[in-house]
Amino acid sequence: MSELTPTQGAFGTRVSLRRWRAVSGSAVWRQPLAVVGVSIALAWLLIAIFAPLVAPHDPLAQDFLPLQHPSHAHLFGTDELGRDVLSRVLYGARLSLPLALLLVSLSLGLGLVLGLLAGYFRGVVDGVIMRLTDLVFAFPAIILAMVVTASLGPSIRNAVLALVFVSWPTYARVVRGLVLSTADSEYVQASRLIGASARSALFRVVLPNVIGPVIVLATLDLGNAILLLAGLSFLGLGAQPPAPEWGQMVSQGTENFQYWWLSTFPGLAIFTAVLAFNFLGDSLRDIFDPRTMSGRGS
Amino acid sequence: MRTAVPIVTVLAVAVLAATAAGVAQSASRASGTLVVDNSFVIRTTDPQREFDPTGSIVAHAMYDTLVTFKGSGTKPVPWLATSWKATNGAKLFTFHLRKGVVFSDGTPLTSADVAFTFRRLINIKASGSFLLANVTVSTPNASTVVLRSKVPNPALTRILANPALGIVNSKVVKANGGSDAVGADKKDKAEKYLDANSAGSGAFVLKQYTTNQQIVLEANPRFWGPKPKFSTVVIRNMTAPTQLLNVQRGANEIALDLSSRQASSLKGKSSVQVHIDPSPNLFNIDMNMSPKVSPVTSNPHIRKAVRLALDYKAFAALGGPGSIQAAGMVPSVFLGALPSQYAQKRNVQQAKAEVAASGIASPTITLTYPAGLTINGIDFGVLAQKTKANLAEVGITANLQGLPVNAMLQQYAAGKDQMTQSYWGPDYPDPNDYQVFLPGGTAALRVNWKTGMDKPLEALGKKALQTTDDVARASLYRQIQRKLNADSPFIPLFQPSQAIVASKNLTGAVLNFTWLIDVRSVGTR
Amino acid sequence: MRRFASHRPLVRFVVRRLAALVALSIGITFIAFALTQVVPGDPIRANLGQIAQTQPDVVAAFRHHYGLDRPLPVQYLRYLWNLLHGDLGQSEQTHDSVLHDLGQFAPATAELAITAMVIAIVVGVGLGILAAVRRNRPTDHALRLVSLGGISVPTFWLALLALYVFFFRLGWVPGGGRLDPGVLAPPHVTGLYTFDALVAGQWSTFWDAFRHLILPSLVLALFNVGLLTRYTRSAVLEVIDEEYVQGARAKGLPEHVVVLRHVLRAAMTSLITVIGLAFANVMTGSVLVENIFAWPGIGQYAYQSATALDLPAIMGVSLFVAIVYILVNFVVDLLYGVIDPRIRIA
């Protein structure tokens, strides 16, 4: 059942080498959606880096009157422990963005190594790795992640580990597919003929060809990573208090429905961050796939 | 395709709007149905095996007990037993049963059923079995029940009102695998039957029990007492936020799990009535006495420092309107409660001095709490964050450890928590229940406070157990609590309030400390 | 065998896939078993009462009965053996066999998931075709924004918002659960209340079940509507300029006939694959949506057993969902093979 999930990344991006080579970096900037996406993502990134400068208050300080409506003093109001919600939302970027990056790079790293091995050595190695991906694919991500975090104990570290465990196979599949098509190219055949070692061929020829498209795929996956992490935290299986994490803040807010600002603002934060990466991702996808390209008259 | 845009884009809204037409219809649900929204905590509807809030509501509706409490009261009044007397220094109790009571299948209720029920409770070793520890039951005749306690047991009549002591039809239960013999913990197989059927004499019978979903009760036509106002009662599993929305829109509806803050936000709305009563629940901090578990919390100066560091007013505020600082471990609504002038006061300077006196440089503690658990609408995670902030002010670092409830209870029961954000709900409304906090008691053992570690206090506890006069008992329990406040592993934080929000037209939706709400006495205006 | 096989490529294909399915299922049991070994909770504490667990003989009997005193490989084989006999163990929270629980909760999720999938497919594919046909026009751009928005909204947040607006503010739909209180479930046929009510001819029950179903399934569908819109758009665009489509146009067929008859069929192969993926999304979403809408399904059961460390239930749910998932993919694979014969050879 290795065809169970095709070599498609987020949103069905078909990765082909031909298209990857055809992409010019500047094409991205001609897409208004991409510009919006990059701007929002950049804004969140800057907020994450400069949170202590941007946030008006300490996100953990229980200094204020609890449950104040949004006002001039507290733009997003205060929570039940008298903390400034705006500061918590801004600091939340410090958790969600780096963790999503970490999650995606770990999955990518693991998937890259296993995909390279499978694609290059084929045979038994390929068989074993691909059967493993089938197995992991058979479990819906959140259920498996729930079981893993519940087993290891709920913490943000375990949530990331659990999600790495369920998301590496996508990358392994894509990388394997790319390696297979690269390895068959005349260039590699030729380098094999002249006696280049397997390892040097893998690193000199195959890897550079594979890494580009995969990194693009990973970018597209960032939005999903943010959503999944927030979902686990919402269920109480991710970030633990008092850490200002968006999903957990929404969950706290649901207990106090009448104080709408408690869950509305962190929810919007998740939405905009994910939207930014999806805007960017969708634009990249268009560039990959000229026939579906928006903005190109037909 | 031109028309496709409006058609598809409004599809979702159109479907929603179509269902709106059904709103009027939904309001016309059977008028004889009472709906109780509750966050389920229930393992079974077998009365002897249940010992949790939802289980108690249901068992109380279906099974009669020898005595009962009226409304919010804690004074036992006759129910199946019309009269009783306690003799021999609260060691011998004789109950006379009401005549003419039959079970829902028509079988008359006799003392044999009472004896079967009590013996079954003792021998199946369930969570509620300790209620009848050291008690034996005998039946001189069909309408008399005699209970003998090895130790003086002035709380026994109050205990008998607990729904876990609801009388079952012994013939039916035996026929379905029930057993009251020694070894019933393995032999008794009646739970499955009692999860699908009821075998009691109470006002309601079980119509349907769907795990994690809903419990449907129907009026028992053979009930001996006053006929309940509602012929059907549905107890639904709902989270508090959903309850908050439901109760405002529903008819004949009661919400049990709103925080007092949520409930008070509904005050003044025309569709609902809001009751906020002091709850007998108690939120507290536990500190481990074993130096092996924590050299920090086992240090008396640190325990004193923690006691002085906590911002009790802020904790009570977290509990919402109606919450009060707990002066002692016995809740304000019970006999022997400590008056509020003895409540601990905050003093940050003194707390810092105590930390310095402890000789421990930068003391660090792990504070464990049940993650995701909410009681009376109060999230333990929020409390733990407050504790952490308070302790930080006096130079004690608390690292939070939120665990899933089961894992947390395992670690707690094994006595491995350094500090616990804890809670106690009464098993029965009597200060004897709070003996668990004395050295060697169940709760004390969880913080390694063993017998012999505070002999004067233990002696006071023994004396209180053997005293039968309520005035003398109350004074003894006050002494005990003042000692506990001076130095012990336990710090009482606050008593929350229990909110009950009901549709405006309902009557009798009042809090009871043992079974939350008595659905058989809820009526309409 | 070889002759038989070579003459019947479809049969060979199905047999090969079935074999893979069985192998995968065994692998899944292995993972489920392995997961339970890392759970820190002690099943004895979890399963025996407070008093019972202090008695050594009771504990020993329990360990022996469940084979906990045997080496791990033996435990695994025993577990497989029990599975083959339909024994998934007993849930610690419900005190019922896990199989019974799954039987009780699965139909609720199935009803929700199927409805959400149907909505997602109808709306998503419809919007996708529309976007492709109106490529680069305002409709396309608008749909692009909407669908990207759809895949960016956190499901749990949307569920809360929807409940607040459509139930609380507007009162258009009921607030959580599968039926109004007091409405009894229809006679059990499939466990899907809407279907069962229709079969029994109980119109008011059908209406009640339907009203409860609509909001959670719309929320659950939204992510996949976004996903399917984007997929369909690109799948349609891949074929819309192919020669035979152009040919059909040249023959003077109306555009909607061209789209529905030729383009959609050609785009079907990629769509079927996506629907397999969409199913996984629905399962993920149902954990969150069921929690908020008090929908008594597998998602809530999974969540509750995971947080309660209810081992047999966790194992049961993961197994069950995994097996349903590979069965769905198996069917997708078969459809794929039937629609596009080239796949079989690959």
pLDDT tens, B136-167? 999 999 999 999 999 889 899 999 999 999 99
**Predicted pLDDT at B449:** 96
Under an 8 A CB cutoff, do C182 and B30 touch?
Answer: yes
Inform me whether the C-beta atom of residue B377 falls under 8 Å from chain A C-beta atoms.
yes
Which tokens hold the place of C194? 């809407």
- Three-state SS at B215: strand
Which tokens hold the place of B69? 């409490």
- Interface test with chain B among C42, C48, C50, C213, by most B beta carbons within 10 Å: C50
Under an 8 A CB cutoff, do B318 and A254 touch?
Answer: no
pLDDT average, residue stretch B299-318: 95
**Predicted pLDDT at C179:** 86
**Closest chain A CA to residue C39:** A151
Place of tokens 């509507």: C225
Counting every residue, how long is chain B?
525
Higher pLDDT, B406 or C151: C151
**Predicted pLDDT at B483:** 96
**Predicted pLDDT at A58:** 93
**Half-sphere exposure (Cβ direction) of C160: Cα atoms closer than 13 Å:** 26
What are the C-alpha distances in Å from B437 to residues A226, B309, B325, B431, B483? 45, 22, 19, 11, 12
Q: Which residues of B touch C224 (CB under 8 A)?
A: none
B273 φ, ψ (degrees, to nearest 5): -115, 140
Most confident listed range (B398-402, B475-479, C339-343): B475-479
Whole-angstrom distance, CA of residue C316 vs CA of residue C96: 12
Spatial CB neighbours of C157, under 8 Å, sequence gap ≥ 6: A250, A263, A267, A270, A271
Cβ pair B217, B206 in contact under 8 A: yes
Whole-angstrom distance, CA of residue B420 vs CA of residue B408: 9
The string over B86-121, giving b where at least 16 C-beta atoms fall within 10 Å of a residue's C-beta and e elsewhere, is beeebbebebbbbeebebbeebebbbebbbbbbbbb
Residue B455 burial by Cβ neighbours in a 10 Å radius (0-12, 13-18, 19+)? exposed
With cut-offs at 50, 70 and 90, classify the pLDDT of residue B10. Answer: very low
Kindly report the CA angle at B117 between B115 and B121, in degrees rounded to 5?
A: 115
Cis peptide before A140 (omega within 30 of 0): no
Distance of residue A94 Cα from the nearest chain B Cα, in angstroms: 20
Kindly report the CA angle at B70 between B153 and B240, in degrees rounded to 5?
A: 100
**Predicted pLDDT at B442:** 87
Which tokens hold the place of A180? 């297979």
Whole-angstrom distance, CA of residue A190 vs CA of residue A148: 46
Whether residue B66 has pLDDT greater than 50: yes
Whole-angstrom distance, CA of residue B290 vs CA of residue A225: 43
Inform me whether the C-beta atom of residue A230 falls under 8 Å from chain C C-beta atoms.
yes
Measured distance between the N- and C-terminal CA atoms of chain B, rounded to whole angstroms: 57
**Predicted pLDDT at A156:** 86
Side chain identity, residue A125: V
Distance of residue B35 Cα from the nearest chain C Cα, in angstroms: 7
Which pTM value belongs to this model? 0.84
Inform me whether the C-beta atom of residue B368 falls under 8 Å from chain A C-beta atoms.
no
**Predicted pLDDT at B9:** 41
**Closest chain A CA to residue B318:** A80
Identify the sign of the CA torsion A128, A132, A135, A137. negative
**Predicted pLDDT at A291:** 45
Whole-angstrom distance, CA of residue C168 vs CA of residue C61: 53
Higher pLDDT, C4 or B16: B16
Whole-angstrom distance, CA of residue B241 vs CA of residue B245: 7
Under an 8 A CB cutoff, do B371 and A154 touch?
Answer: yes
**Predicted pLDDT at A237:** 84
Side chain identity, residue C1: M
Under an 8 A CB cutoff, do C317 and A143 touch?
Answer: yes
Inform me whether the C-beta atom of residue B265 falls under 8 Å from chain A C-beta atoms.
yes
ipTM of model over 0.85? no
**Predicted pLDDT at C83:** 84
Q: Which residues of C touch A4 (CB under 8 A)?
A: 276, 326, 329, 333
- Helices (H) and strands (E) counted in chain B, each on its own, are 19, 23
Whole-angstrom distance, CA of residue A96 vs CA of residue A244: 10
Whole-angstrom distance, CA of residue C346 vs CA of residue C326: 20
Where helices occur in B184-311 by DSSP H, the ranges are: 184-187, 191-196, 240-249, 260-264, 300-309
Q: Which residues of B touch A62 (CB under 8 A)?
A: 385-386, 389
Whole-angstrom distance, CA of residue B41 vs CA of residue B408: 17
pLDDT average, residue stretch B186-207: 93
Whole-angstrom distance, CA of residue C324 vs CA of residue C134: 37
**DSSP letter string over C56-69?**
HHHHHHHHHHTTTT
Cβ pair B492, B437 in contact under 8 A: no
Under an 8 A CB cutoff, do A81 and B245 touch?
Answer: no
H, E, C per residue of A196-260: CCHHHHHHHHHHHHHHHHHHHHHHHHHHHHHHHHHHHHHCCCCCCCCCCCHHHHHHHHHHCCCCC
Whole-angstrom distance, CA of residue B160 vs CA of residue B428: 9
Task: Write down which chains contact chain C via at least 3 CB pairs under 8 A.
Answer: A, B
- Interface test with chain C among A16, A132, A136, A147, by most C beta carbons within 10 Å: A147
What are the C-alpha distances in Å from A131 to residues A141, C76, C335? 17, 20, 22
Side chain identity, residue C192: L
pLDDT average, residue stretch B67-75: 92
Cβ pair B430, B158 in contact under 8 A: yes
Inform me whether the C-beta atom of residue C291 falls under 8 Å from chain B C-beta atoms.
yes
Partners of residue B219 on adjacent β-strands = B204
The order of strands in the sheet holding B144-149 is B81-87, B92-97, B144-149, B135-141
**Closest chain C CA to residue A232:** C288
Under an 8 A CB cutoff, do B259 and A255 touch?
Answer: yes
Cβ pair A13, A285 in contact under 8 A: yes
Whole-angstrom distance, CA of residue B369 vs CA of residue B405: 8
Which tokens hold the place of B60? 């109380």
CA B296 and chain centroid, separation: 32
Spatial CB neighbours of A186, under 8 Å, sequence gap ≥ 6: none
Cβ pair B183, B171 in contact under 8 A: no
Q: Of B41, B55, B377, B56, which is closest to residue B212 (Cα–Cα)?
A: B41
Q: Which residues of B touch A257 (CB under 8 A)?
A: 241, 244-245, 262
- Three-state SS at B364: strand
Residue range C222-272, pLDDT digits in tens = 999 998 898 888 888 877 777 677 777 777 777 777 777 777 776 676 677
User: Which residue ranges in chain C fall short of pLDDT 70?
Assistant: 1-8, 38-59, 61-63, 65-68, 243, 266-267, 269-270, 339-346
pLDDT per residue, tens digit, chain A (298 aa), is 233 333 333 334 444 445 554 454 555 566 788 899 999 999 999 999 999 999 999 999 998 998 899 999 999 999 989 999 999 999 999 999 999 999 999 999 999 999 988 888 888 988 889 888 888 877 777 777 777 776 777 788 888 988 998 889 989 988 888 888 776 666 666 666 666 666 666 677 777 777 777 877 787 789 989 999 999 899 888 888 889 999 999 988 887 777 889 999 999 999 999 999 999 888 877 776 544 433 332 2
Whole-angstrom distance, CA of residue A182 vs CA of residue A178: 6
Under an 8 A CB cutoff, do C136 and A3 touch?
Answer: no
With cut-offs at 50, 70 and 90, classify the pLDDT of residue B410. Answer: confident
Identify the sign of the CA torsion B462, B467, B470, B476. negative
DSSP A290: G
Neighbours of A203 (CB within 10 A): 12
Q: Which residues of A touch C241 (CB under 8 A)?
A: 291, 298
Q: Report the run of H or E that residue A121 belongs to, with start and end.
A: helix A85-121
**Closest chain B CA to residue A235:** B372
Q: Which residues of C touch A254 (CB under 8 A)?
A: 160, 292
**Closest chain C CA to residue A267:** C157
Spatial CB neighbours of C137, under 8 Å, sequence gap ≥ 6: none
Where helices occur in chain C by DSSP H, the ranges are: 2-7, 9-38, 43-47, 56-65, 72-84, 98-133, 138-150, 155-162, 193-199, 203-240, 243-250, 255-257, 264-292, 298-307, 311-339, 342-345
pLDDT average, residue stretch B45-53: 91
